[in-house]
C-alpha cells in the first residue's frame, strides 16, 4: 500500500461567507478516494464564528456545558458537541486582537456540506474531515483530532478479527479519523499557512454515505472513568453525598466499602491518635440481630422514660426502616485511647469534643468516598442512643462508642434536585 499526504497550498485568508468548498476545489487536484483534512479554523471563519470579544473567559463560558478540570487559569471543559478540551476550543491565535474564534457550531454538518460541495465541483468521490488541536490525558504535546467527518467511518472495529498469531481481538477499536487527522497535520502544521491536506491511498475507507460523523468517537461522560479533574471529582462527590433512604437489592461490594474506610481514616485527629473503628455488617443475620436489639431498647425507653403509647412508638421507630432495608451497614465507632485526662470538667469536655469532631470528619470522608464508588448512604444517629445495646449485640469492646450507623447501597432512584446552597449565609468575617 502506498500512502501520500499532500498539503493544499494557495488557499487565501478566509472571510465570513466565503465559499470554502470552491476555494479548496480550485487550490488542488483531487482523485477518487481522497480524504480531505481541513483545519477547523478556516471552517469557523467561513461560517462567521469569528467574534469580537474582549473577555475570552466569557466566550469559553458560553461555549461550555461542563467544567471538567481547572488549574489556575487553564480550564478543561466539555463543549456543546461533547468534546472535552481546553477552553472549549475558543482560539485567539491567527486572529485580530480583540477577537476570538469559536469552533464550528456543528462540525459534522460542516463536513457534510463541504463534502457535497467539493464532490459536485470536482466530480470526485471524496471524504472530508474537519480537525482541531487537542491535548491528551497523560501525554505531553498536542495533536490534531477529527471533530467533524463525512464519507468516512470515524472508528474501525477490529473486534472478532484475529491477529498474526491467531488470537481473537476483543477490545481493538481504532480511531481512524483521529489517526488521519494527526497524519495530515504533519504537512499542515501550525504555522505553515497550509490549512488543508489530502490523504491519498486509502480510498477503501471512503463511503458512499456521509455516515455518523464523529459522534462514535465521543465517549459518553457516564462511561468515562476520568471525566473530572481531582478537585472537581472531590467537589462532585461531596455534592453527590446526599442522604439516600431507598436502595436497590444489589449487593454492596465489600472491597468498595474498604476503600471508603481507607479514605475515612485519613481524617484529622488529636494527639496523633487514630480514634476511629468501623464495624462492617456484611451478614444479614448480624444486621437483623443488631436492629432487633436496638428496636427493643428504643421501645422500652420510649415507653418507660417518655411515656409514649404504642402507636406513637411505632411511628417513631419506623424511621429506622432505612437501616433495615439497606443491603449493607457500617457502624462507625469512636475510640478515645490517647485522650488526655483533665480533672477540670471544662477541659475534659473539650477533649472529648476534639475526638468527636475527628470521628465526624472520618464519617464524612466515608460518605464522600462511598459516593465516589457510586453508592448512596444514609447516616442515622440511632446507635448513639443505645450504645451498650449495640456493643452487646456486636460483641464490641467497652471502649468503642458507636457513632450512629451508615446504610449503604445503590440508590433506588435519583435524588431530587435541590438549589445550590451559597456559602455566604454561613460565613462571618472579622
pLDDT at 168: 61
Residue with the bigger pLDDT between 172 and 381: it is: 381
* SS3 state at 311: helix
Provide the CA 379 distance to its chain's centre, in angstroms.
Answer: 25
Q: Name the pairing type of β-strands 405-409 and 50-52.
A: unpaired
Q: Are 409 and 250 in contact (CB under 8 A)?
A: yes
Nearest to 85 by CA among 95, 77, 96: 77
Residue with the bigger pLDDT between 372 and 107: it is: 107
Out of 40-44, 197-201, 337-341, 399-403, pick the least confident.
Answer: 337-341
Q: Are 337 and 275 in contact (CB under 8 A)?
A: yes
* SS3 state at 170: coil
Q: Name the pairing type of β-strands 35-39 and 127-136.
A: parallel
Mean pLDDT, range 101-120, rounded to an integer: 96
Residue with the bigger pLDDT between 303 and 116: it is: 116
- Domains in the chain: boundaries: 4-49+103-223, 230-426
Distance CA 407, CA 246 (A): 10
E-state strands within 201-308: 276-281
Mean pLDDT, range 164-187, rounded to an integer: 83
pLDDT at 240: 65
Residues 6+ apart with CB under 8 A from 389: 293, 294, 296, 297
Whether residue 169 has pLDDT greater than 70: no
Mean pLDDT, range 169-184, rounded to an integer: 86
- pLDDT band at residue 171 under the 50/70/90 scheme: low
Q: For the residues of 3-20, what is the DSSP string, one character each?
A: -EEEEE-------TT--H
pLDDT at 297: 87
pLDDT at 191: 66
Whether residue 156 has pLDDT greater than 70: yes
Distance CA 4, CA 145 (A): 19
- pLDDT band at residue 396 under the 50/70/90 scheme: very high
Mean pLDDT, range 344-372, rounded to an integer: 93
Please tell me the pTM assigned to this model: 0.66
- pLDDT band at residue 304 under the 50/70/90 scheme: confident
* pLDDT tens digits, 33-68: 999 999 999 999 999 998 887 778 888 988 998 888
Distance CA 15, CA 192 (A): 19
pLDDT at 170: 60
* pLDDT tens digits, 21-35: 999 999 999 999 999
* pLDDT tens digits, 209-256: 999 999 999 988 777 777 777 676 666 666 667 788 899 999 999 999
Whether residue 162 has pLDDT greater than 80: no
Residues 6+ apart with CB under 8 A from 294: 320, 382, 383, 386, 389, 390, 393
Question: In the numeric block, which cell numbers belong to residue 158?
Answer: 477490529
CATH for 4-49+103-223 is 3.30.1330.100
- pLDDT band at residue 321 under the 50/70/90 scheme: confident
CATH homologous superfamily of 230-426 equals NADH Oxidase (3.40.109.10)
Amino acid at each position: 500500500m502506498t500512502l501520500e499526504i499532500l498539503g493544499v497550498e494557495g488557499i487565501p485568508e478566509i472571510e465570513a461567507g466565503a465559499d470554502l468548498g470552491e476555494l479548496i476545489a480550485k487550490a488542488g487536484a483531487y482523485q477518487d478516494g481522497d480524504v480531505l483534512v481541513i483545519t477547523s479554523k478556516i471552517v469557523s471563519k467561513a461560517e462567521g464564528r469569528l467574534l469580537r470579544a474582549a473577555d475570552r473567559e466569557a466566550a469559553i463560558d458560553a461555549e461550555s456545558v461542563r467544567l471538567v478540570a481547572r488549574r489556575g487559569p487553564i480550564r478543561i471543559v466539555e463543549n456543546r458537541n461533547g468534546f472535552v478540551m481546553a477552553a472549549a476550543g475558543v482560539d485567539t491565535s491567527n486572529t485580530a486582537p480583540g477577537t476570538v474564534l469559536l469552533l464550528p457550531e456543528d462540525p459534522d454538518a460542516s463536513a457534510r456540506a463541504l463534502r457535497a460541495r467539493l464532490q459536485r465541483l470536482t466530480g470526485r468521490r471524496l471524504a472530508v474531515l474537519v480537525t482541531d488541536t487537542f491535548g491528551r490525558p497523560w501525554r505531553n504535546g498536542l495533536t490534531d483530532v477529527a471533530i467533524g467527518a463525512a464519507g468516512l467511518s470515524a472508528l474501525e472495529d477490529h473486534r472478532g478479527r484475529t491477529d498474526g498469531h491467531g488470537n481473537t481481538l476483543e477490545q481493538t477499536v481504532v480511531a481512524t479519523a483521529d489517526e488521519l487527522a494527526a497524519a495530515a497535520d504533519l504537512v499542515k502544521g501550525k504555522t505553515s499557512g497550509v490549512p488543508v491536506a489530502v490523504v491519498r491511498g486509502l480510498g477503501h475507507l471512503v463511503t458512499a454515505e456521509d455516515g455518523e460523523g464523529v459522534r462514535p468517537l465521543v465517549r459518553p461522560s457516564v462511561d468515562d472513568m476520568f471525566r473530572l479533574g481531582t478537585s472537581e471529582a472531590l467537589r462532585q462527590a461531596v455534592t453527590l453525598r446526599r442522604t439516600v433512604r431507598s436502595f436497590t437489592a444489589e449487593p454492596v461490594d465489600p472491597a468498595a466499602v474498604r476503600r471508603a474506610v481507607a479514605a475515612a481514616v485519613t481524617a484529622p485527629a488529636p494527639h496523633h491518635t487514630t480514634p476511629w473503628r468501623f464495624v462492617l455488617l456484611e451478614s444479614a443475620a448480624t444486621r437483623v440481630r443488631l436492629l432487633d436489639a436496638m428496636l427493643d431498647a428504643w421501645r422500652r425507653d420510649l415507653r418507660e422514660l417518655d411515656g409514649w403509647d404504642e402507636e406513637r412508638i411505632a411511628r417513631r421507630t419506623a424511621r429506622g426502616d432505612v437501616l433495615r432495608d439497606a443491603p449493607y451497614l457500617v457502624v462507625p465507632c469512636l475510640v478515645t485511647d490517647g485522650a488526655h485526662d483533665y480533672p477540670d470538667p471544662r477541659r475534659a469536655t473539650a477533649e472529648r469534643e476534639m475526638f468527636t469532631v475527628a470521628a465526624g470528619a472520618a464519617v464524612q470522608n466515608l460518605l464522600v468516598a462511598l459516593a465516589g464508588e457510586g453508592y448512596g448512604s444514609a447516616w442515622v444517629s440511632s446507635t448513639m442512643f443505645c450504645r451498650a445495646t449495640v456493643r452487646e449485640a456486636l460483641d464490641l469492646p467497652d471502649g468503642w462508642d458507636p457513632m450512629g450507623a451508615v446504610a449503604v447501597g445503590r440508590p433506588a432512584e435519583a435524588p431530587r434536585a435541590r438549589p445550590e446552597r451559597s456559602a455566604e449565609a454561613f460565613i462571618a468575617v472579622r
